[in-house]
Amino acid sequence: MIIVMQHGATPEQIAEVTDRLEQDGFKIHLSEGVEKTIIGAVGDKSRLDAMSLEAYPAVEKVIPVLKPYKLAGREFHPHDTVINVGNLTIGGDTLQVMAGPCAVESRDQILQTARAVKAAGATILRGGAFKPRTSPYAFQGLEEEGLKLLAEAREETGLLIITEVVDPRDVTLVASYADILQIGARNMQNFLLLREVAKLSKPVMLKRGPSATFEEWIMAAEYIMAGGNYDVMFCERGIRTFENYTRNTLDLSAVPVLKSLSHLPVVVDPSHGTGRWDLVQPMSRAAVAAGADALIIEVHPEPAKAMSDGPQSLTPDNFTSLMADLRQIVQVTGRSLA
């Protein structure tokens, strides 16, 4: 619910309204503009009808906000959010590219990949230390040892680190190594995990659940923001459809849709989105043209020997040519590559 105060409403009149709302259990987000003050009220909408807020002379109008996401939505926050992480920004005029293996497998593998993606122009190193796998018998990741190797790669290359956390009990541990925490597709609605990362002061990349609607996805972001962490970015990684030629169906409409519904940055993952290395370059081009703020791409020194997601991983050479290509595309969109 948005309450627009009359031009010239006094602080006392504004306080009268916010006090009343707070008494009725609403959480207040005050936006004091030069011209007008706007009160955002988060709470039980059904109570508002009985409150007759428009009876206060200083209230100009009460706008029911039908969209249930007040913090992640654009309505109350019209400007794009730009997330600062290390010396980088995600969501501004610069396209960031995150790249690295699906999983951290060994010291050699992660350092070799980190050097290659850095040389090609990536700014953030990806790599899973805790791997959510469809089969309980598949490689589950190196866990803390993997986090240490990522930190070593950061130390050497200056790349920032993004890595996934799968268990609420590991959030503090993962946050002590990572620059950005990734919530995987399978955990998009793991509300306990969302509440834990909400307590951090580190950015969170929230992947789309394989069958999640936009509203469910944005509500998951709302969980993190409602818990106090406003540095949230979305990541489209493909959804489940009838088509099985590709691993998932990369829904690039997510970029403009999210940009219109939300102010948060949008990342695209063409690797999981297609499951095929040969489709990563064309879909990366399309994602940048659609307005993605960042890409996350799987790169492995020897995809054929990867312990997970080899078929969708680029070789360092292919990643280098992709970056050269993106440099041109991003320019056409009026932005630049970091």
Residues forming contacts to ligand PEP in the complex (CB under 6 A) are: 102, 128, 132, 184-186, 207, 237, 272
Task: For tokens 């249930």, name the residue.
Answer: 68
Q: Which does 101 bind (CB under 5 to 8 A by kind): ligand PEP, Mn ion, none?
A: none
The DSSP line for 41-89 is EES-HHHHGGG-GGGSTTEEEEE---SS-SSSBSTT--SPP-EEETTEE
Q: Which does 237 bind (CB under 5 to 8 A by kind): Mn ion, ligand PEP, none?
A: ligand PEP
CA 277 to chain centre: 23
Q: Report the residue number, 48 or 162, with the smaller CB distance to Mn ion.
A: 162
- By the criterion CB under 5 A, which residues form the site for Mn ion? 102, 309
- The SS3 of residue 14 is helix
> Measured from the CB of residue 184, what is the shortest distance to ligand PEP in angstroms?
3
Contact 41, 1 (CB under 8 A): yes
Nearest in space to 84 (alpha carbons), one of 75, 76, 74, 94: 94
> Measured from the CB of residue 314, what is the shortest distance to Mn ion in angstroms?
12
Q: Which residue is nearest to Mn ion (CB)?
A: 102
> Measured from the CB of residue 314, what is the shortest distance to ligand PEP in angstroms?
14
Q: Report the residue number, 73 or 100, with the smaller CB distance to ligand PEP.
A: 100
Q: Which does 91 bind (CB under 5 to 8 A by kind): ligand PEP, Mn ion, none?
A: none
> Measured from the CB of residue 171, what is the shortest distance to ligand PEP in angstroms?
16
Do the bridges between strand 59-63 and strand 2-5 make them parallel or antiparallel, or are there none, so unpaired? Answer: antiparallel
Q: Which does 184 bind (CB under 5 to 8 A by kind): Mn ion, ligand PEP, none?
A: ligand PEP
Identify the bridge partners of residue 236 per DSSP, sorted by sequence position.
268
> Measured from the CB of residue 128, what is the shortest distance to ligand PEP in angstroms?
5
Surface-to-core class of residue 50, CB atoms within 10 Å of its CB (0-12 exposed, 13-18 middle, 19+ buried): exposed
Task: For tokens 């970029």, name the residue.
Answer: 255
